[in-house]
Amino acid sequence: MMTAFTARPEHGWAWVTGASSGIGRSLALRLVEEGFSVVVTARSHEKLVALQHEAEGPGKIVVLDGDVTDPRDMERLLTAVEYEHGRVALAILNAGVAIPVRGDDLHLEAFDRSFAVNLHGVVNCLVPLVEHMRANGHGQIAIMSSVAGYGGLPMSAAYGSTKAALINMTESLKFDLDRIGIRLQLICPGFVATRGRVKSNLPRPALVSADEAAERICRGLKSRSFEISFPKRFTYAVKLLRLLPYGAYFALLDWLMAGPGPHGAAPKRKQSPSGKRPSQAV
């Protein structure tokens, strides 16, 4: 097996998707402080420009608007980066949406949007990245999943299923990408204080800020670890929880969910006048 590649500023550019808010925004600022020149991508041009002006450090930020749900747009963007600026050595595929889902009030839109952004959005970036990094001889890619992908949680049917798919996909691709010099890592944070989280009445133990999450991710990118998860005590507890028999697993979550409404379920969210449920970008 080849020695795992760890990207440094002298190797090339970093690319962060979903950089207009939350973890992606904090990550871009942190990477600039560490000396990386960072391409930031999202659909909100104004927020990316504000981020560009806020960045301080030896690195810099270049704004390239893009929609991760459009595969041609991602191929165009990556080609433009390498033509105009240089090689992409590090990519953090972070863009995502968190749309709460209730089993007694299902809507196709929640699933369609979640899979389009959280899962297909990663694949749309990953395919051209692997092609370009293979031609360059090396690269490092980190994929943002979540502890919500470890097992089913209330209100998380759409979000959690996309994160579970990303865990499986990243594990599966690692075998082949190792052989061609591309290092693949999986990021599974616990609860992070961002506006993109799924709203429910579940307790949020070990909550960390987006800035703290970015710091831990940047440390993980330099480590030998395949999975970057934090806070460790919480994420390990969630993994152990998933080993319980289903009866015990569901009973424990029902107990944790004890609160207003039948069986502790959160009250229904009001729909917008259009009848569509609001979504929140990460």
153-179 tens-digit pLDDT: 999 999 999 999 999 999 999 999 999
Share of the chain above pLDDT 90, in %: 79
pLDDT for residue 277 is more than 50? no
Catalytic annotation present for 159: yes
CA distance 222 to 234: 22
Left, alpha or beta for 140 (phi > 0: left; psi -120 to 50: alpha)? beta
The CA dihedral of 250, 240, 92, 73, to the nearest 10 degrees, is -30
Residue 144 pairs in a beta bridge with 187
For residue 235, which of 226, 246, 223, 227 has the smallest C-alpha distance?
Answer: 227
Question: What is the pLDDT confidence band of residue 57, given thresholds at 50, 70 and 90?
Answer: very high
**How many Cβ atoms sit within 10 Å of the Cβ of residue 26?**
24
Q: In which element (H, E) is residue 132 found?
A: helix 120-136
Six token digits for residue 79? 């080609």
Tens digit of each residue's pLDDT (9 = 90 or more) over 62-102:
999 999 999 999 999 999 999 999 999 999 999 999 999 99
For residue 75, which of 11, 83, 113 has the smallest C-alpha distance?
Answer: 83
Q: Please indicate whether residue 259 or residue 176 has the higher confidence score (pLDDT).
A: 176
Q: What pLDDT score does 200 carry?
A: 52
Left, alpha or beta for 23 (phi > 0: left; psi -120 to 50: alpha)? alpha
Catalytic annotation present for 249: no
Question: What is the pLDDT confidence band of residue 191, given thresholds at 50, 70 and 90?
Answer: confident
Six token digits for residue 169? 């996909």
The answer to whether the pTM exceeds 0.95 is: no
Q: What pLDDT score does 2 carry?
A: 62
pLDDT for residue 110 is more than 60? yes
Catalytic residue among 60, 83, 150, 163: 163
Catalytic residue among 60, 83, 159, 246: 159
Q: Please indicate whether residue 181 or residue 276 has the higher confidence score (pLDDT).
A: 181
Q: What is the DSSP letter of 140?
A: E
